[in-house]
Amino acid sequence: MDFIKNIIRPIFPFTAIIGQEEMKLALLLNVIDPKIGGVMIMGDRGTGKSTTIRAIADLLPQISVVQDDPFNSHPSNYELMSNEVKSSIENGDNIIQKLINVPMVDLPLGATEDRVCGTIDIEKALTEGIKSFEPGLLAKANRGILYVDEVNLLDDHLVDILLDSAASGWNTVEREGISVRHPARFVLVGSGNPEEGELRPQLLDRFGMHAEIKTVKDPCLRVKIVEQRSKFDQDPYSCLNEYQVKQNELKKRILLAQDKLPSVVIDYALRVKISEICSELNVDGLRGDIVTNRAAKALAAYNNKDIVDVEDIKAVIKLCLRHRLRKDPLDTIDSGSKIDQVVDKILRS
């Protein structure tokens, strides 16, 4: 047991994180429904962004994959399996399954396109007639979480590739007329510090949600956070044991929400109100409407409800629309307050 403790690095428990409710909610909803489209977390340095993202990945229930498959292929869902696994199933081959932790892949800032997408060995293809593909980070992230710290400093071209894969659920690599396509369905999580530069509006819009986090001002709460972290650093295993029950309860709640999600409904009248809000705020395109509908359903499922209500919409709409508002340098109120005003006016009527 001591040997295992030495090789497995303990991760701070998600249920032990104090504050930053907006970031935690955005991550939970994306885990319940990955089609929300990921989350962009912008905030001050040292506010626990990376800690929270690693904690949510560690919290998730294990997934079943095909053994020795580099793409974490699902054993039965055709949408989540590679072409090789599909062929094996069609040929009647015996598929061996195994359980793994949900993949959590960090994308380094200096990563190249080949490192992200994978590479095709052209020489092998030409001389031996074999499609030899070296999977990249997108393959490793399939059915997991892809985390990009300082995403606002990442090359725009790479951000485009990540967002395209996250939206389509597939990654295609083409070299010299040879093409390889594999599933790449993941929750894209980006974080950054606004002082180091903003993302282009077109790229920001592609993130489903946008959470803003600020440094805690309350001295008592700051002391509590510091003590909590110190306690974990001194004896991580007793801290993990202390939160084990809460962690297990939250795991069960996420699984139940994922199962319930397809049956959750949102009334036509409320869907119209969401679109009214987006229209009044001059939100470009329809992504804002779509994401708000999805997020409200995911929250209703998380709270074990069959029908979305006004409170669900109020809880998620700022996260879904804040980054889609046109920036007006002469505006005296921030985007969050503007959304609150419009939401109160339309949802009251």
Residue 101 has pLDDT above 80, yes or no: yes
Task: Work out whether the CA dihedral 255, 256, 258, 259 comes out positive or negative.
Answer: positive
Q: Average pLDDT, whole number, for the chain?
A: 84
Query: Cα(first)–Cα(last) distance of the chain, in Å?
Result: 61
73-87 pLDDT, tens per residue? 888 887 788 888 888
Q: Where are the domains of the chain?
A: 2-60+101-213, 261-348
Helices vs. strands in the chain: H and E counts, helices first: 16, 11
pLDDT value at residue 257: 95
**How many angstroms separate the CA atoms of 205 and 325, rounded?**
9
Residue 7 has pLDDT above 50, yes or no: no
Give the containing element (helix H, strand E) for 104: strand 104-106
pTM of the model: 0.85
Overall CATH class of domain 2-60+101-213: alpha beta
Residue 164 has pLDDT above 60, yes or no: yes
Residue 6 has pLDDT above 50, yes or no: no
Catalytic residue flag (residue 287): yes
Q: What percent of the chain has pLDDT over 70?
A: 91
Residue with the two structure tokens 């195994």 = 98
109-152 pLDDT, tens per residue? 888 888 888 887 766 656 666 667 788 899 899 989 999 888 88
**How many angstroms separate the CA atoms of 151 and 12, rounded?**
23
Token pair belonging to 302? 């998380």
DSSP three-state, residue 66 = strand
DSSP 212: E
Q: Which of 54, 287, 322, 324 is catalytic?
A: 287
Average pLDDT, integer, range 272-288 = 89
The CA distances from residue 324 to 113, 289, 293, 336, in Å, are 28, 11, 15, 11
**How many angstroms separate the CA atoms of 320 and 193, rounded?**
19
pLDDT value at residue 27: 93
Q: What percent of the chain has pLDDT over 90?
A: 24
Residue 49 CB neighbours (<10 A): 24
Given the candidates 1.10.10.10, 1.10.8.80, 3.40.47.10, 2.20.140.10, the CATH classification of the domain at 261-348 is 1.10.8.80
Residue with the two structure tokens 């002469």 = 330
Residue 5 has pLDDT above 50, yes or no: no
DSSP 58: H
Average pLDDT, integer, range 48-63 = 84
Ramachandran sector of residue 173 (left: φ over 0; alpha: ψ -120 to 50; beta: rest): beta
Q: For residue 151, give the nearest of 56, 53, 229 by alpha carbon.
A: 53
258-269 pLDDT, tens per residue? 999 999 999 999
pLDDT value at residue 29: 95
**How many angstroms separate the CA atoms of 342 and 156, rounded?**
33
The CA distances from residue 38 to 34, 156, 210, in Å, are 7, 17, 9
Instruction: Please report the beta strands in 110-186, taking only residues with DSSP state E, as ranges in sequence order.
Output: 118-120, 133-135, 145-149, 170-175, 178-183
